[in-house]
């Protein structure tokens, strides 16, 4: 407060002098210096003030602790369940607090990524090379200018890419990255920024990756152990994107992105007894073009609008004697046309209201005989309001969903309509301390995917939407107890999720069939801690920790043997810790990921038990800066104890492996 008092006194003296008829200074043409006055205000991070849990991690921090793939980055978030099918080519999906991957939206620069066929996004296809920030919002975050799809999701993984920035007299920037490592890994990426005018900039990013994916593992069969190798986990992929950023005279912004991804890879199969053969292959292609427009219409009104076209193609091939001609080939094509507009109104300084409208058309075509070729029309409308009353912040919204479909063959489901509310509040307990209590409620539902409804003989057009209700309460605190600590942040959130009409596959008389068959209760606690310790002027230590305690039980049938059993692949305890030692010589990073015991089946018996594990990684890095360019070198050893473990049963994960990365920027 003394700084503010000094500033007020200085302003008072200046005003009195300006009101006086006598000159302030009789010395003309000279510059006079007064003593500097510093105004200090402590910034409170959004994850502390938000009414719902929101976590952030920057690309710089990921690089310093040696994380170079997307799935490992997402594992750093408390409450995120990542399923990894092993190897570089294995599929990776994310679920928030065990609600299922279909309830979790993946947003890429403000627009969600869609997959109406399967309802889940393979996050392994994304690259961290051009990412600025990753964030995970559980429930409803405080941004009322989002799209309606964001409001309709139980959780959102948001990917924010880096925008071009230039120094004085600089019109372009080039960044070349070379990464190599175990299992035949070679990864090259190139980034090019160009200033095209006072208001227009462009960025081009390209990445190619290949790996044979062959890694050793130990096969256990009773008391017998043999050393084997994991095959059919190879991958070749290319992806690139071009961005244009334009700022109009009225400061409104138009961002346009063109994205392309292609991969061919082996799908590592299960390893049962001594059978590790895997012949499944997958080809993926994805192209999308999207534009986002932001404009401040007046002091009280603002607009955001988005347009997107998305095309996906994949080919699946499996060689097996059980098929006709010993081979099965499935080819699928998806197309989406999507538009969204959000209008925001700020009638008074502490009240904001928004209305978001999304429209989407999705289609699926494949090579299956008599395919229904479904066409889905979706309309989502979200009304949101945000109110600040002193130390109390309220945020609520109501989402209306309407979905209708048409098919060329067979039956189609009834139209789906639903209203889904959510409400959160955050209260600052102490006026002069960043200590908040928060609570939230959110209702969401997920419509059956095209696979759920139409896939071969498993589909069921009579499925009801899967409903989820989220309840949460937490405490957040940001403080600086000692001068040597430049931040100390703690968040603790307890939650309860209720899922009904859960969509699962279960055996009928002759075949498996999709059905609404489930009631699940999920209780848990997420905790995060982050702090920074200043050792000297040039040496500091950053530390972060995340922990999840979760009990997710099946309450479908009281008479069943697995009533109140933990859901498959759900550990009761999981977490991670990371340290970064920043210094002028060599930055040192350490990361620990741990996961408690799990079961691969609803039957929680030793037969289906997966043991707990810890994975340690160590990173060394240093940046060499020269006059017009810089060179950054990074070396990391993953799983330094060579621990063998499985995230999915019969899919062994790699043991000890290494990577070396060089980044050249000019």
SS3 for 555? coil
Tokens 């002028």 belong to residue = 584
Token pair 């139409």 is found at 454
Cα angle 453, 455, 460; round to 5: 35
Select from 291, 237, 282, 288 the least CA-distant residue to 260: 288
User: Could you tell me the pLDDT band of residue 486, with boundaries at 50, 70 and 90?
Assistant: confident
User: Could you give the CA distance from residue 29 to residue 26 in angstroms, rounded to a whole number?
Assistant: 10
pLDDT digits (tens, 9 = 90+) for 397-437: 999 999 999 999 888 999 999 999 999 999 999 988 899 99
CA count, 13 A, side-chain hemisphere, 103: 28
Phi then psi for residue 9, to 5 deg, are -65, -40
DSSP secondary structure code for residue 447 in this structure: P
Q: What is the chain's mean pLDDT, rounded?
A: 87
The answer on pLDDT for 306 being more than 50 is yes
Q: Select from 553, 602, 555 the least CA-distant residue to 98.
A: 553
Which residue carries 């009533």 as its tokens? 563
CATH superfamily of 46-83+143-238+258-665: TonB-dependent receptor, beta-barrel domain (2.40.170.20)
Question: Tell me: the pLDDT tens digits for 31-41?
Answer: 444 444 444 44
Predicted pLDDT at 284: 93
What is the mean predicted confidence (pLDDT) over 655-659?
93
**What span, in angstroms and rounded, lies between the C-alpha atoms of 599 and 607?**
9
Q: What is the pLDDT, as a whole number, of residue 12?
A: 39
Give me the phi and psi of 143, to 5 degrees please. -85, 105
* Closest to 283 measured CA to CA, from 326, 250, 234, 249: 234
Residue 629, token pair as written in the block? 């360019």
Question: What's the confidence (pLDDT) of residue 456?
Answer: 76
Q: Which of 194, 99, 115, 109 is nearest to 154 (CA)?
A: 99
Task: From 108, 109, 122, select the one nearest 69 (Cα to Cα).
Answer: 122
**Residue 96's closest CA among 48, 127, 135, 126?**
135
DSSP assigned state of 656? S
Instruction: Note the residue count of the chain.
Output: 666
Phi, psi of 201 (to 5 degrees): -130, 160
> Where is pLDDT greater, at 483 or 176?
176
Q: How far apart are CA 138 and CA 78, in angstroms?
A: 10
Q: How far apart are alpha carbons 474 and 166 in whole angstroms?
A: 41
∠196-197-203 over CA atoms, to 5°? 35
Going from the C-alpha of 460 to that of each of 119, 406, 410, 457, 650, the distances in angstroms are 16, 15, 11, 8, 29
**Bridge partners (DSSP) listed for residue 625:** 630
Angstrom distance (rounded) from CA 147 to CA 174:
33
Query: Which pLDDT tens digit goes with each residue over 200-217?
Result: 999 999 999 999 988 888
Check pLDDT > 90 for residue 650.
Answer: no
In the chain, where are the structural domains located?
Answer: 46-83+143-238+258-665
């Amino acid at each position: 407060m003394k700084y503010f008092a000094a500033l007020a006194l200085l302003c008072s003296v200046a005003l009195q002098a300006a009101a006086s008829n006598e000159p302030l200074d009789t010395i003309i043409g000279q510059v006079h210096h007064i003593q500097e006055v510093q105004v200090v205000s402590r910034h409170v991070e959004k994850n502390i003030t938000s009414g719902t849990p929101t976590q952030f991690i920057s690309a710089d921090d990921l690089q310093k602790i040696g994380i170079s793939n997307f799935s490992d980055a997402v594992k750093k978030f408390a409450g995120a369940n990542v399923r990894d099918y092993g190897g570089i080519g294995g599929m990776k999906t994310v679920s928030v607090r065990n609600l299922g991957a279909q309830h979790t939206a993946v947003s890429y620069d403000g627009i969600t990524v869609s997959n109406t066929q399967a309802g889940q996004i393979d996050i392994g296809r994304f690259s961290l090379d051009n990412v600025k920030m990753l964030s995970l919002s559980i429930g409803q975050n405080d941004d009322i200018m989002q799209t309606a799809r964001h409001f309709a999701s139980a959780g959102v993984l948001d990917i924010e890419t880096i925008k071009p920035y230039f120094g004085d007299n600089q019109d372009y920037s080039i960044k070349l990255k070379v990464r190599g490592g175990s299992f035949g890994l070679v990864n090259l990426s190139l980034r090019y920024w160009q200033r095209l005018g006072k208001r227009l900039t462009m960025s081009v990013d390209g990445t190619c990756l290949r790996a044979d994916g062959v890694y050793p593992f130990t096969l256990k069969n009773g008391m017998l152990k043999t050393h084997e190798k994991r095959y059919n986990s190879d991958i070749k992929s290319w992806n690139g994107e071009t961005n244009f950023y334009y700022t109009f005279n009225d400061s409104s912004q138009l961002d346009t992105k063109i994205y392309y991804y292609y991969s061919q890879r082996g799908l590592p199969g299960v390893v049962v007894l001594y059978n590790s053969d895997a012949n499944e292959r997958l080809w993926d292609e994805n192209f999308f073009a999207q534009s986002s427009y932001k404009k401040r219409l007046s002091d009280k009104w603002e607009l955001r609008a988005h347009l997107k076209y998305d095309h996906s193609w994949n080919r699946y091939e499996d060689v097996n004697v059980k098929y006709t001609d010993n081979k099965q080939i499935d080819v699928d094509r998806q197309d989406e046309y999507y538009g969204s507009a959000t209008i925001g109104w700020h009638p008074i300084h502490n009240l904001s209201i928004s209305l978001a409208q999304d429209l989407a058309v999705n289609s699926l075509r494949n090579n299956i005989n008599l395919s229904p070729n479904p066409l889905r029309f979706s309309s989502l409308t979200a009304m949101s309001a945000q109110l600040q009353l002193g130390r109390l912040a309220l945020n609520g919204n109501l989402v209306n969903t309407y979905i209708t479909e048409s098919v060329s063959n067979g039956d189609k489901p009834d139209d789906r309509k639903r209203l889904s509310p959510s409400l959160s509040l955050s209260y600052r307990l102490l006026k002069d301390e960043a200590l908040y209590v928060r609570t939230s409620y959110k209702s969401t539902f997920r419509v059956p995917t095209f696979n759920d409804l139409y896939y071969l003989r498993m589909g069921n057009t009579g499925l009801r939407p899967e409903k989820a209700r989220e309840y949460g309460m937490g405490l957040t605190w940001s403080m600086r107890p000692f001068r040597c600590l430049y931040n100390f942040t703690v968040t603790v959130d307890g939650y309860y999720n209720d899922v009904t009409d859960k969509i699962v596959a279960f055996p009928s008389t002759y075949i498996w069939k999709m059905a609404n068959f489930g009631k699940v209760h999920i209780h848990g606690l997420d905790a995060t801690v982050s702090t920074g310790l200043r050792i000297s002027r040039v040496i500091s230590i950053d530390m972060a920790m995340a922990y999840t305690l979760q009990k997710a039980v099946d309450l479908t049938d009281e008479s069943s043997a697995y009533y109140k059993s933990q859901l498959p692949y759900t550990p009761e305890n999981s977490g991670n810790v990371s340290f970064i030692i920043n210094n002028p010589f060599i930055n040192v990073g350490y990361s620990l990921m741990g996961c408690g015991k799990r079961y691969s089946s609803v039957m929680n018996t030793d037969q289906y038990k997966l043991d707990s594990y810890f994975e340690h990684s160590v990173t060394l890095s240093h940046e060499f800066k020269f006059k017009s360019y810089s060179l950054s070198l990074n070396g990391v050893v993953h799983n330094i104890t060579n621990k063998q473990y499985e995230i999915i049963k019969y899919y062994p994960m790699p043991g000890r492996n290494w990577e070396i990365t060089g980044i050249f920027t000019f």
